[in-house]
Structure 1
């Protein structure tokens, strides 16, 4: 600190005087040459006591400006995430440090910027550190504990006084991407000067009663203390000086310490951190971003804050490698639409069991013929064109699957409606979709009498006779583009009016190709089929995954009884059909006793966040592979997969993108953020849906032009949009 060089100066000079035989005790200061008393220190303490109330109102006002604390959780080690609050962490157990040296051209450029604009290196470094915290913490406001010397008091010789005058005060920065970089740095310099002039304050006196430590996201120290360099040059042998390393104990988990050595033309940034909380790689990443920002500020080619590039080349390459997901599936992707894909599975697995519902079993051939008869019937009663919609109001049975396939084969897309929906929600969906036909169970037809549309009772005697005995059992022969609609699923409407998400065949085909290959490998017709449970309600797109993995992949779809409960009969039914794969939400999984499932090989969890407690239950009861998935309806079921092998512990991870999907974490300016920074997730690729039905403004707001589309993608017409 400041006092140590002064004290050592006194000791060294006195020691040299002793050696040279000229010993005369030196006063600690020149203020009172006849006494060892440090009069300037005593005067300073008296001044501080007399003026201790001067700046209370100012700092009360400053603290009231603090609106947000940066969420730096993303920087923590995995096991510490959501368990540590950084601004309340005050006992560092494993102090560590990483260092960045700013030299050569970057240093000279920064010094030029300072001279030309009346800035200081300290203000530039503070600007960069606040910017980094803002980026990683996804916050428009950052508060950093900034250490000041406290020696700006109107006391003679206070600069050479030995004593503790320092104070650590909150420097609050509100970030505006529209500002010029130089203006932002100047503002920080002005704030710092004001803070220094009001540094004589005791935070314990403030009425808020908050501990000072909790006000800060982290600490910033710029060391500009007096040094003894060159003062005793040539006398090192007499003094027997030996440089040793020192460790400064800090109780802040993140502290940046900076100092300039002018004769060496360099600035050193030392990032001191709690080794028990942060990985060394994470800390090094922060310093690399700091160097990147300092380089851009120094070369003065970037003027606006919003134009600062936040990624180093190393991090950009890492993100590009993660997003290197483009792949073709020549062995799988031979059907352009979902029903054509199903028809190919029928060719390969005609006598395999496709669907099981209670005592009903349908082979692929039988299921295909029933769906064909329904499709021909639909086309005979209605002029169906691509993108026409047919509503389904059905409870679970094999007829639900026949209906979905029949709608696809007719050239239309289906809209699932839950029979438990209230009448006003059913009315909204029917009117919003303008569905030409509704297929319903007999018992629900009365709820549809008021609607002017064709109604088909799927379990009536007439329709049963058609789908079971009609001679029109061949595949309909008409061309349907892969970009035609496959289904429209309505979101829950918890954030407003329900929105119909419009999904094309191509998106589901790509999704199916990835998960089939990822989960089951090259599952050909000679392989014993896997049994998949149709657990999800068909109004949720998890049901699409279960359909894609089963009847679109030569596997078997097990439909539970309707309604079903998790009782002995349920487990017996699943074991009888050798259930191998199960997917659903954590809420659903908590109700299942996996120990009672004898053939289960893997399960997939998504739709809700999974907690460590739920995962521990699954790991304890299920010996197979567990997959954690993340996705949004607007981007086709799910888009990210994290796989837990047998002995892996819980990790709160979204995993890696599916093939032909790219994921970016962006800020409000649609800039790519560094790894571990908090931002908004954007998705692009074949997964991205067409948008929202009848909501062009909302579609334009959420489905944006992709700023990261490559030249090759532009040429191929791929990935033109990105979903926010």
Structure 2
């Protein structure tokens, strides 16, 4: 039983599964009439064991013993009958009931040759070329000890992996011998050599950076080197490094003088994407404060919560929000446009620095599972170590041109803005209008000769679709850097062929570890395999893979990605308990604080890490981090809704969308629920579908079975407007495209694209397919303004009446 117990304990540690079935053979000679018979009567007995991490090794073995004895009592029941009884649908790629077998040969031959009344018997070594199960542990009692052999499926395992498994099993047996009362959660089964490699060997990059400098001080050094070089461009406005520095100095002095800003204060920044955004950020940093970005398009309740939670006393705007006083109270509002003349009265020289590298640089609010967002506090030194260390993998310089595409509420903007400014590059602030138009964006990249492009994988797809249709875009790109969500490298194949000079880089990171933590250059191998390899830690960072009890897991085993090093931020603003939960002391080095990411990863033998998803209910939607619990909490507060569950699903193109499953005494329209949610949640957190159920599916243990919740595709779309069939060829064509991209039927010609599962990414695909059939008869802006089949068909049939780009009023959908 001990041999079988250690196998199950090891598989439990590897897989974290609490219900494990292993097969074991039995002689099948329980009846006395069979004792003298020749022949094979072996039967297979599946032994199921429920395992808890709180079990000791002794407890586990006792459980296995009890189940095995029960199995022996039913050993005559043929295994084939068990399969017929339990397995209704056979999967020919695997063995039914169990994938792992444990065999104990305790009747070994006493010599190489035995004689049985005239019959000579001797061992025959047969070559095994096929593994009957994924894993078979063969143990032989030789009389002098136990000999073990592992037979394995080479489609799933290689020899190195099995050799590691052997050493882990030996460690598990040693733990049993040393102390059988040790709990499974506390069992360390990796060897000392492995532990040193996982802790130090794979984290061997020691980098130095200017630890005593702030972001603004390094920026000011760059200003001295390239004062006349262009620093930032927005449409027709261009500012040199000297001009940008002077404008931000004036704003900083204005803040210190009039609003008494001091080191460590938080100043809100709620501006549109223009050159004023960059001036605002630098001005706040130079004043000694930290900036707190707020997206003007966010719902008023979310804006109000953020300002109140952060205790903001001063808020900088650009005048784009005309009713700001109705949203907040007790906050001093600085308008970069209305207060421009007062600000420009202040000196343009650099200020005496009052903050240090350990002071806050910014606070970014991310989605929170309790129903409200939480603010992540990031210090100057966190940003400096990321971008300005002596082991930096990128060769950024003064010739680089960077588009600032992302919202400043998304931390990739920190990389975009300061990756350019601290190295003397030029920033191109991208307007909201251009962010929605892949063709227009590519034209911008071409016109401005952009060299460094940072993109979320899902938003990059629209560019790929546009650019691979033609090679007419003369791009000067050196880097395309991906971050914000999981990357499927296969989407890069065509771009790699068209633009072979581009270096594609996958950067893994989280706001809590300062934007990025891991680096991987994407090669043809990753593009072919499609694996999301996030590579190795960036300089000055460490990466570990822990189990749920903060124990190291070995190479080849999935666990939680835990990040340490200089990028780990201060914690959550006003969330002491949550900070203590997620920011912990490294159990292997108590001087280091590490962040538990909630992401799952698997270390490969070369030290690189494969991204394997999440271990909780947090997802990335269009690059933004979304806690599904926040949406569920909001829905549960609506009228007679009793309970709500929100899931992230993948559509046919691999993009994620949200589905809300609702228990309610009354059924509400999707339109009403969207209107309600939009009052508190940003657009990217609004579910595409709302499905009302009589009850939620449950597991055998009575818990919610999320995997059993139905796919929205099986439900007939309930239109919230009067259903109208297509009336002409154009409407019929658009209808087919919608049904294909949205995966819903039937769709009426008056249904709103964004109310039946559409979003800004899907409308870009829709536009591309329509434009192929009816080129230049409809603009992508029209698709947003006229989101029904009937209206879009009308524009195509009467294209001369469609609005020009200059007259179009764009609706903003966060990317």
TM-score (norm: length of structure 2) = 0.67
For the pair 1:655 / 2:535, whether they are aligned, the reply is yes
1:626 corresponds in structure 2 to 504
2:477 corresponds in structure 1 to 600
Q: Summarize the Cα distance change of 1:242–1:178 in structure 2 as closer, same or farther, 3 Å threshold.
A: closer
Shift of 1:701: 1.5
For residues 25 and 242 of structure 2, the distance between their equivalents in structure 1, rounded to whole angstroms, comes to: 77
1:277 corresponds in structure 2 to 156
For the pair 1:473 / 2:348, whether they are aligned, the reply is yes
1:221 corresponds in structure 2 to 102
For residues 414 and 545 of structure 1, the distance between their equivalents in structure 2, rounded to whole angstroms, comes to: 15
1:591 corresponds in structure 2 to 462
1:287 corresponds in structure 2 to 166
Shift of 1:528: 4.5
The answer to whether the 8 Å contact 1:147/1:222 transfers is yes
Would you tell me which structure has more strand in proportion to its own residues?
A: 2
For the pair 1:703 / 2:583, whether they are aligned, the reply is yes
The answer to whether the 8 Å contact 2:545/2:553 transfers is yes
The answer to whether the 8 Å contact 1:396/1:559 transfers is yes
The answer to whether the 8 Å contact 1:204/1:211 transfers is no
Shift of 1:643: 1.1
For residues 484 and 299 of structure 1, the distance between their equivalents in structure 2, rounded to whole angstroms, comes to: 49
For residues 616 and 652 of structure 1, the distance between their equivalents in structure 2, rounded to whole angstroms, comes to: 14
The answer to whether the 8 Å contact 2:272/2:320 transfers is no
For residues 297 and 420 of structure 2, the distance between their equivalents in structure 1, rounded to whole angstroms, comes to: 26
Q: Which of 393, 397, 402 is the aligned partner of 1:518?
A: 393
Shift of 1:720: 3.4
Unaligned residue ranges in structure 1 (runs of 5+) = 1-122
2:44 corresponds in structure 1 to 168
Shift of 1:205: 5.0
The answer to whether the 8 Å contact 2:22/2:46 transfers is yes
Q: Which of 45, 51, 55 is the aligned partner of 1:179?
A: 55
2:448 corresponds in structure 1 to 577
Q: Summarize the Cα distance change of 1:299–1:531 in structure 2 as closer, same or farther, 3 Å threshold.
A: same
Q: Which of 178, 191, 197 is the aligned partner of 1:318?
A: 197
For the pair 1:554 / 2:424, whether they are aligned, the reply is yes
Q: Which of 529, 532, 557 is the aligned partner of 1:677?
A: 557
For residues 161 and 225 of structure 1, the distance between their equivalents in structure 2, rounded to whole angstroms, comes to: 19
Q: Summarize the Cα distance change of 1:239–1:131 in structure 2 as closer, same or farther, 3 Å threshold.
A: closer
For residues 563 and 112 of structure 2, the distance between their equivalents in structure 1, rounded to whole angstroms, comes to: 61
For the pair 1:151 / 2:29, whether they are aligned, the reply is yes
For residues 516 and 250 of structure 1, the distance between their equivalents in structure 2, rounded to whole angstroms, comes to: 47
For residues 559 and 516 of structure 1, the distance between their equivalents in structure 2, rounded to whole angstroms, comes to: 29
RMSD: 2.8
1:98 corresponds in structure 2 to none
Q: Summarize the Cα distance change of 1:383–1:619 in structure 2 as closer, same or farther, 3 Å threshold.
A: same
Q: Any residues of structure 2 matched to 1:296-307 within 5 Å, and which?
A: 296-300=175-179, 303-307=182-186
- What SS is found at the alignment partner of 2:363? strand
- What SS is found at the alignment partner of 2:218? helix
1:51 corresponds in structure 2 to none
The answer to whether the 8 Å contact 2:489/2:526 transfers is no
1:641 corresponds in structure 2 to 519
Summarize deviations over 1:52-109 as a string: whole Å, max 9, x none: xxxxxxxxxxxxxxxxxxxxxxxxxxxxxxxxxxxxxxxxxxxxxxxxxxxxxxxxxx
The answer to whether the 8 Å contact 2:207/2:389 transfers is no
For residues 241 and 138 of structure 1, the distance between their equivalents in structure 2, rounded to whole angstroms, comes to: 43
For residues 147 and 289 of structure 1, the distance between their equivalents in structure 2, rounded to whole angstroms, comes to: 24
Determine which structure has greater relative contact order: mean sequence separation of CA pairs < 8 Å that are 6+ residues apart, divided by chain length: 1
The answer to whether the 8 Å contact 1:665/1:681 transfers is yes
Would you tell me which structure has more helix in proportion to its own residues?
A: 1
Number of residue pairs the alignment of both structures matches: 581
Summarize deviations over 1:680-704 as a string: whole Å, max 9, x none: 2221222111111111121122112
Shift of 1:406: 0.3
Q: Summarize the Cα distance change of 1:665–1:370 in structure 2 as closer, same or farther, 3 Å threshold.
A: same
- What SS is found at the alignment partner of 1:679? strand
Summarize deviations over 1:569-617 as a string: whole Å, max 9, x none: 4333322322111112111110114552510111111212122542435
Q: Summarize the Cα distance change of 1:217–1:553 in structure 2 as closer, same or farther, 3 Å threshold.
A: farther
For the pair 1:529 / 2:399, whether they are aligned, the reply is yes
Q: Which of 361, 379, 390 is the aligned partner of 1:504?
A: 379
For residues 125 and 226 of structure 2, the distance between their equivalents in structure 1, rounded to whole angstroms, comes to: 77
The answer to whether the 8 Å contact 1:392/1:414 transfers is yes
Q: Summarize the Cα distance change of 1:647–1:611 in structure 2 as closer, same or farther, 3 Å threshold.
A: closer
Question: Which 4+ stretches in 1 moved above 6 angstroms?
Answer: none
- What SS is found at the alignment partner of 1:563? helix
The answer to whether the 8 Å contact 2:56/2:181 transfers is no
For residues 119 and 441 of structure 2, the distance between their equivalents in structure 1, rounded to whole angstroms, comes to: 90
Q: Summarize the Cα distance change of 1:300–1:647 in structure 2 as closer, same or farther, 3 Å threshold.
A: closer
2:654 corresponds in structure 1 to none
Shift of 1:637: 0.8
For residues 619 and 159 of structure 1, the distance between their equivalents in structure 2, rounded to whole angstroms, comes to: 69
For residues 443 and 88 of structure 2, the distance between their equivalents in structure 1, rounded to whole angstroms, comes to: 62
Q: Summarize the Cα distance change of 1:510–1:375 in structure 2 as closer, same or farther, 3 Å threshold.
A: same
For residues 323 and 363 of structure 1, the distance between their equivalents in structure 2, rounded to whole angstroms, comes to: 42
For the pair 1:373 / 2:250, whether they are aligned, the reply is yes
Q: Summarize the Cα distance change of 1:124–1:515 in structure 2 as closer, same or farther, 3 Å threshold.
A: farther
Q: Summarize the Cα distance change of 1:443–1:279 in structure 2 as closer, same or farther, 3 Å threshold.
A: same
Q: Any residues of structure 2 matched to 1:80-119 within 5 Å, and which?
A: none
Q: Summarize the Cα distance change of 1:425–1:238 in structure 2 as closer, same or farther, 3 Å threshold.
A: closer
For the pair 1:666 / 2:666, whether they are aligned, the reply is no
Q: Summarize the Cα distance change of 1:366–1:173 in structure 2 as closer, same or farther, 3 Å threshold.
A: same
Shift of 1:251: 3.1
Shift of 1:244: 3.6
Summarize deviations over 1:522-546 as a string: whole Å, max 9, x none: x5xxx64211111111110011111
1:193 corresponds in structure 2 to 69
Q: Summarize the Cα distance change of 1:220–1:197 in structure 2 as closer, same or farther, 3 Å threshold.
A: same
Shift of 1:379: 0.6
For residues 55 and 432 of structure 2, the distance between their equivalents in structure 1, rounded to whole angstroms, comes to: 61
Summarize deviations over 1:474-532 as a string: whole Å, max 9, x none: 11103312121111111134773211111111111111125992111xx5xxx642111
